[in-house]
Structure 1
Amino acid sequence: MSDGLAQLVLSFADEELILNRGNVNAEARGNLVAFGVAPESFDVRPVEWALVTVGERLGARFVDAVGPVTFYAWYDEQAGQLRCSVASVEPDDLPFRGRFRSVGDPAPVLALMAADAQPGVVPWADLREVSAEEAAGPDEQVEFSFPVFAVKLTR
């Protein structure tokens, strides 16, 4: 499965990608590709190699682009998917609503995938009732951030 997943990830380098600096969110959504994961047959190494290779290939493809362009990949724990996209922003300015940390190595992203025994499933025991006050918004800053493998494709 991981060799198949690695081949699918590699195919991202051949995708038709759009750059739309005027609407980075639409750009990121338009370039988004998601890959499902089978945890029982997941091997990190070929997928790690594939992500690094995609960054290299896209770097060669976008070397002359004006302004920043970033390839990035993350593990969406709620969906149980490895996701990849390209956006015309710096690696630390990726269009996420949540807190993330840009990493130069895919290992932290893939470690989350490897540790997820049931991709896309939230056990009932992990759910809790939310009060009206909590639903209105958190009072304190949330410290959790997720890793995003990011490769700046332009100089």
Structure 2
Amino acid sequence: MSESFAQLVLSFLDEELVLDRGHVNTEARGNLMTFGFAPEGFDAGLVEQALVAVGKRLGLRFADVAGPVTFYAWYDEQAGQLRCSVASVEPHNLPFRGGFRPVDSPVPVVALMAADPLPGVVPWTDLREVSDEVDASPDEQVEYTFPVFAVKLTR
């Protein structure tokens, strides 16, 4: 299972990737690939190696491109998917609305996957009721950031 999953991740290299600096969100969505997985037989080491290999090979492909280009991968816990994309931005400017932290190793991303016993399932106990009042302030502020493996592909 994990060997074939690692092969799926490597298939990102076969994709035609388009850069459009004027429309980074469109660019990132167009370059997006998602990979669902089953936790049985999941080999984190193979997946980490595949992500590093993708970053290195894309670095060769985009070495002569002017301006920043970044390959990035993250685990979408709600969807239970590893997601990969390329965008023409610096690693700290990736097109996410939520808080994220760029990491230079895939280990934290893959660790989230390995720790998820039911990918794509959010237990009821993890949900909170939301007030109908527009001006209601939450009783607790939760600062959540997720790791994103980010590889700058250009100099």
Determine if the TM-score, normalized by the shorter chain, exceeds 0.5: yes
Q: Does 1:44 align with 2:44?
A: yes
Cα deviations by residue, 1:126-152 (Å, 9 ceiling, x for unpaired) = 222111247867697642100000000
The percentage of counterpart residues that share the same residue type is 75
- Supply the distance in 2 between the matched residues of 1:4 and 1:135 (Cα, whole angstroms): 49
* TM-score normalised by length of structure 2: 0.94
Aligned residues: 155
Q: 1:11 to 1:136 in 2, by over 3 A?
A: farther
Q: 1:26 to 1:39 in 2, by over 3 A?
A: same
Q: Which runs of 5+ in 2 are unaligned?
A: none
- Supply the distance in 2 between the matched residues of 1:19 and 1:50 (Cα, whole angstroms): 23
Q: Does 1:67 align with 2:48?
A: no
Q: 1:140 to 1:128 in 2, by over 3 A?
A: closer
Q: Match for 1:125: what amino acid?
A: T
Q: Match for 1:70: what amino acid?
A: T
Determine the structure 2 residue equivalent to 1:9.
9
- Supply the distance in 2 between the matched residues of 1:136 and 1:58 (Cα, whole angstroms): 46
Q: Does 1:93 align with 2:96?
A: no
Cα deviations by residue, 1:19-67 (Å, 9 ceiling, x for unpaired) = 0100000000000000011011211011100000000000000000010
Determine the structure 1 residue equivalent to 2:78.
78
Structure 1 runs (4+) deviating above 3 angstroms are: 133-142
Give 3-state SS (helix, strand or coil) of 1:74's partner.
strand
- Supply the distance in 2 between the matched residues of 1:135 and 1:14 (Cα, whole angstroms): 48
Query: Where in structure 2 are the equivalents of 1:24-39 lying within 5 Å?
Result: 24-39=24-39
* TM-score normalised by length of structure 1: 0.94
- Give the deviation of 1:124 after TM superposition: 1.4
Q: Match for 1:4: what amino acid?
A: S
- Supply the distance in 2 between the matched residues of 1:63 and 1:77 (Cα, whole angstroms): 32
